[in-house]
Amino acid sequence: YRWSRFVQAHPWPMAIGGTLALIALALPVFSLRLGFSDEGNFAEDTSARQAYDLLAEGFGPGHNGPILIVAQLPEGTDLATLEAVTAAVGADPGVAFASPAVPNDPAAPTAALWQVIPTSAPQDEATYDLVDRLRDDVLPGAIEGSGIETYVTGNVAVAVDFSDYLAARLPLFFAAVLALSFLLLMAVFRSVLVPLKA
């Protein structure tokens, strides 16, 4: 009772203080990173986590989340032109290793595959940045004018795409939850002002 009287007696300071407190509590949302967990999140006594750590220690953290690059090749593509892709990808500072192109048919290739090992772990922001860099800068520059179509895939790339998909729909999700909450409160309290304040 005393607290409610105090709030009523000081509406503006309480409104401003409450708003600042809510903003402070909401600040972590701006550094929110969406994605999937992997074996690195398992308990340390599990076999999967021990294998994950051993692989990262012995071969580097990127071996736990290799990136695949697939290319669709026009007819008559010379396999030597694919070396430019290998060189460009391998030159990126976020790449520890880029395999040579593996064609589906050495005599008349229609597709090629590269395996790329990042320098960072699958859940690191640097690995997500690498996927974006490969798609937006590295690969378009390496295949410009060749007629080759390249695609970046693998578990890490799927996580990047799914994260982007979720992030683009979060405002719609929040809007739907708020709208349904408003309708429910309006039905319960038979008021428009109460749900608006809530």
Q: What is the pLDDT of residue 146?
A: 77
- Reported as a single tens digit per residue, the pLDDT across 150-193 is 999 999 999 999 988 988 998 999 999 999 999 999 999 988 99
**Which residues, other chains included, contact 145 with Cβ-Cβ below 8 Å and sequence gap of 6+?**
none
- State which residues of the chain have pLDDT below 50: none
Q: What is the pLDDT of residue 54?
A: 94
CA–CA separation, 81 vs 142, rounded Å?
Answer: 9
Q: What is the pLDDT of residue 66?
A: 95
Q: What sign has the CA pseudo-torsion 32, 156, 84, 100?
A: positive
Could you tell me the pTM of the whole model?
A: 0.76
Q: What is the pLDDT of residue 29?
A: 85
* SS3 of the chain: CHHHHHHHHCHHHHHHHHHHHHHHHHHHHHHCCCCCCCHHHCCCCCHHHHHHHHHHHHHCHHHHCCEEEEEECCCCCCHHHHHHHHHHHHCCCCEEEECCCEECCCCCCCEEEEEEEECCCCCCHHHHHHHHHHHHHHHHHHCCCCCCEEEEECHHHHHHHHHHHHHHHHHHHHHHHHHHHHHHHHHHHCCCHHHHHC
Q: What is the pLDDT of residue 144?
A: 79
Single-letter amino acid, residue 134: L
Q: What is the pLDDT of residue 198?
A: 83
Tokens of 22: 């809510």
